[in-house]
Amino acid sequence: MAVVALVGAVVTGGLVLLLAGLVPTERQPQPGRSRPRPGLAERWSTLTRRPPGAAGRRRDARLVAGFVGGALAYALTGWLVWLVIVPLAVIALPYLLADPPAPTIDLLSALDRWVHSLVATLPTGQSIGDAVRTSRRTAPALLTPYVEQAVRRLDQRWSVRDALREMADRLAVPEADAVLAALGLAAHRGGTGATATLKALSSSLQQTLAALREIEAERAKPRIVVRQVTAITLGMLAVALLFGRAFFAPYATPLGQVLLLGLVAAYLGSLAVMRRMTRPRRRQRILTGATS
93 lies in the same domain as 145: no
Confidence of residue 174 (pLDDT cuts 50, 70, 90): confident
Q: What is the mean pLDDT of residues 255-281?
A: 86
Whole-number percent of the chain with pLDDT over 70: 77
- Cβ distance 102 to 214 under 8 Å? no
Model confidence pLDDT, tens digit, residues 65-105: 888 888 888 887 788 888 888 888 888 888 888 887 777 88
123 lies in the same domain as 164: yes
Instruction: Compute the Cα dihedral for 118, 123, 127, 128 and give only its sign.
Output: positive
Q: How many domains does the chain have?
A: 2
Q: What is the mean pLDDT of residues 198-223?
A: 85
- Which of 180-193 are b and which e, b meaning 16 or more Cβ less than 10 Å from the residue's Cβ? bbbbbbbbeeebee
- Cβ distance 263 to 233 under 8 Å? no
204 within a domain of the structure (yes/no): yes
167 lies in the same domain as 265: no
The rounded distance, in Å, linking the Cα atoms of 269 and 264 is 8
Model confidence pLDDT, tens digit, residues 103-124: 788 888 888 888 888 888 777 7
- Cβ distance 64 to 18 under 8 Å? yes
> The pTM is what?
0.62
Instruction: Calculate the alpha carbon distances from 181 to 5, 112, 147 in Å.
Output: 67, 15, 15
- Cβ distance 95 to 55 under 8 Å? no
- The domain in which residue 132 lies consists of 103-215
User: What's the confidence (pLDDT) of residue 17?
Assistant: 47
125 lies in the same domain as 142: yes
130 lies in the same domain as 83: no
- Angle ∠(239,245,250) on CA atoms, nearest 5: 125
199 within a domain of the structure (yes/no): yes
58 within a domain of the structure (yes/no): yes
Using H for helix, E for strand and C for coil, what is the string for 229-276? HHHHHHHHHHHHHHHCHHHHHHHHCHHHHHHHHHHHHHHHHHHHHHHH
133 lies in the same domain as 186: yes
75 lies in the same domain as 118: no
157 lies in the same domain as 211: yes
Q: Which candidate, 50, 70, 75, places its Cα nearest to that of 60?
A: 50
94 lies in the same domain as 121: no
User: What's the confidence (pLDDT) of residue 89?
Assistant: 87
The rounded distance, in Å, linking the Cα atoms of 22 and 16 is 10
136 within a domain of the structure (yes/no): yes
3-state secondary structure of 23: coil
206 lies in the same domain as 111: yes
Confidence of residue 47 (pLDDT cuts 50, 70, 90): low
255 within a domain of the structure (yes/no): yes
108 lies in the same domain as 164: yes
Q: DSSP letter at 168?
A: H
10 within a domain of the structure (yes/no): no
226 within a domain of the structure (yes/no): no
User: What's the confidence (pLDDT) of residue 43?
Assistant: 60
133 lies in the same domain as 208: yes
Residue 5 has pLDDT above 60, yes or no: no
40 within a domain of the structure (yes/no): no
Confidence of residue 208 (pLDDT cuts 50, 70, 90): confident
The rounded distance, in Å, linking the Cα atoms of 74 and 72 is 5
Model confidence pLDDT, tens digit, residues 130-168: 888 888 888 888 889 999 998 899 888 888 888 888 888
**Of 171, 194, 215, which one is at a domain's C-terminal end?**
215
Q: What is the mean pLDDT of residues 7-12?
A: 45
